[in-house]
Structure 1
Amino acid sequence: MRMLKVKSRSIAIIAATLLPLACASAAQAQSYPSRDIHVVVGYVAGTGPDLYARYAAELIRQGSGGKTVVVDNKVGAMSNIAAGQVARAKPDGYTVFVTGGSTFTTNPFLFKEVPFKLSDFTPVTSLQRGGLVFITKPESGIKSLKELVAFLKQKDGKAKFGYVNPLAFGAAEYLKQRSGTKATPIAYKGAPDALMGLSGGEVDFMVSDPTPIMGSRDKYNVLAVTTEERVDAMPDVPAMKESGYDNFDLSGWWAVWMPAGAPDDVVAKVADWVEEGLKKPEAKEFFYRGGFQPWVGVRGEKLKQFAEKEYKKWGEIIKLTNIEPQ
């Protein structure tokens, strides 16, 4: 009987300790948000990446009943600066990070040092997915990936390609490695500059996310999309497998994150808001205009595991291509 009394007393003490914490957590979730939410993005305002972050911010605003959501553009080092700031932010649910997968999967290999690691973040939910595209100008006469490879072999190392983000750079280098060709990379600050470089003859081809060209497809030859199968947003563009390259699935993807330690109830609430918005027809219409599609329901631990798998895949690709970190 005495042992039962001791156990009962211990349980009562534990319950008395945990109950206020549970109540506080529930109260926090119910009152969230009680002030402005800041959505951080690591790219210039008005660019495709910025538009995706603002779309996610709008879904959060709508889900919260119209609370104020502020988009903060923390530009620099391919989103490393933004990621570093979010990693150090207070994990109270009021700092949200919307970024492409390259932040976690390629940046650690492309830079000698990054001011964060994946464990510094709480995975919230997925946002969108799609492939990169290989592009030439019509005057080049290059209308397929096979013709591009033949052109690169003919140029024997004198060709050039343009890119903006690390995924595009990695995709071009991987094609070079797989096809046994050479081409000099030319980095551009933004897609408009890169497209001008392509049109002006500074580079022979370009690898990019499809967003910058979706409104002017007739001005470019879109040779292939870096996925195993064709994508719904660009059904006329061949995938890598049918272009002669198996196991060349270098999809781009975006997701929503918070600093590590963010409250579970708040994380779940924001994930629900984003997912509910992505299921609406207008979300598909929005992302299709950019050549992407909504990516719904990969949240929490599943999103973290997906990011870890992508990190491993890109590490192997970058090792194959001998890319030197900056």
Structure 2
Amino acid sequence: MTQEKIDRARRRMVSAAGTVPLAWAAGGGTALLAPHAWAQADDWPKRPIRVIVPFPAGALTDTIARVMADGLSKSLGQAVVVENKLGANGVIGASEVARSAPDGYTWLLTNSSSITINPQLYKKIPYKASDLAPITPIMESPFIIVANPEWAQRNKINKLSDLLAYARANPDGVRYGSPGLGNLAHLGALMMSNRANVKTLHIPYKGGSPAQLAVMSGEIDFVFDTWAGLPLIQSGKVKPLAVTSKTRMAQLPDVPTVEESGIPDFSVTFWLGMLAPAGTPPQVLQKIFAASKDIMADPKARASLSTQGNVIAEDPATFAQRIGRETLAWGEVIKRENLSLE
């Protein structure tokens, strides 16, 4: 059997201790790892490790990856090197990891869109969620719905309910931006508009920073922003209208949730997490998880991570369940809206 066939067979095996490939998450099933895979895991790691980040240097995902890589290099005793592989809303980087050997030396650090949305949204995509083995999420965050302050003042928009009332009176007269077609910020804003029975105009950008600049300049009226937008809120460059979590953010105690603004049962959050090629030995996944959990508990690292969101650690099995639930939920949105990208 060639190495390529061996790797392909391993990727079809169990991807985490106590879990099965994500495609089976709702049903069940079992698989066994080859004995030599267990033996190889005993002395892992023996060489440097690559962490693929499918977004630009300096972006949120990259910042989190470098904090984790620094700590993991020390705790694992091998260099953990971040590599940025850009393109197609995270598809290129995720695809590279999905087709890598499941030996524990190539990881993916990405956002939830890459795993729970992209495989369902793109017609031609070279990987499935089940091609990747969950390790752990690192942080979770709601979006902050922010508006251009001059536009908001001109139209007497002080809260989200005002924006929705204005949009209802002006179909397609409210423009919102996102970091790209199919991005979670796009789908979240679309879901909000549909739940509120309003028509808004979507303008996609190539990344979160261009979308932020667009809302500040007045090119668009509002955007679903991340915690990276907190300094812009504090400086008055954007106006916060609501947060998309179930509860208010401690950093913005006076900003209501979307639910409080009149849309019941609304919650949209995103996570950043680590995954490996499916078939990676469970002991390796557990070693990475244990080391990652220790880093997230370290006061210095936690302080850096918590500037971007709520720090969370979940074992591979729990993380797989989270991914399974979110995949089903966003699949329903994509199907209902008849969304599809090439």
Global fold match (TM > 0.5): yes
Structure 2 Cα separation of the partners of residues 281 and 307 of structure 1 = 28
Ranges in structure 2 where 5+ consecutive residues have no aligned partner: 1-33
Report the equivalent of 1:71.
Answer: 82
What TM-score do you get using the length of structure 2 for normalisation? 0.82
Decide which of 240, 259, 270 is 1:252's aligned counterpart.
Answer: 270
Shift of 1:303: 1.3
Aligned length: 301
| Equivalences for residues 139-178 of structure 1 within 5 A | 139=150, 140-141=152-153, 142-165=157-180, 166-178=183-195
Shift of 1:29: 4.2
Shift of 1:55: 2.2
The percent of aligned pairs where both chains have the same amino acid is: 33
Report the equivalent of 2:311.
Answer: 294
Q: Which letter does structure 1 place at the counterpart of 2:166?
A: F
Shift of 1:53: 2.0
Q: Which letter does structure 1 place at the counterpart of 2:72?
A: I
Shift of 1:236: 3.7
Decide which of 259, 284, 291 is 1:273's aligned counterpart.
Answer: 291
Report the equivalent of 1:206.
Answer: 223
Shift of 1:229: 1.3
3-state DSSP of counterpart to 1:158: coil
Aligned residues of 1:63 and 1:274 also touching (Cα < 8 A): no
Aligned residues of 1:168 and 1:209 also touching (Cα < 8 A): no
Change (3 A) 1:300 1:289: closer
What TM-score do you get using the length of structure 1 for normalisation? 0.86
| Equivalences for residues 216-227 of structure 1 within 5 A | 216-217=232-233, 218=235, 219-227=237-245
Structure 2 Cα separation of the partners of residues 220 and 283 of structure 1 = 29
Deviation digits for residues 272-307 of structure 1, max 9, x if unmatched? 0101111223344223322x11012x2222211210
Deviation digits for residues 243-300 of structure 1, max 9, x if unmatched? 222221111012111101112222111110101111223344223322x11012x222
Q: Which has the larger radius of gyration?
A: 1
Change (3 A) 1:320 1:145: farther
Structure 2 Cα separation of the partners of residues 150 and 169 of structure 1 = 20
Aligned residues of 1:124 and 1:270 also touching (Cα < 8 A): yes
| CA RMSD after TM alignment | 2.0
Q: Which letter does structure 1 place at the counterpart of 2:324?
A: E
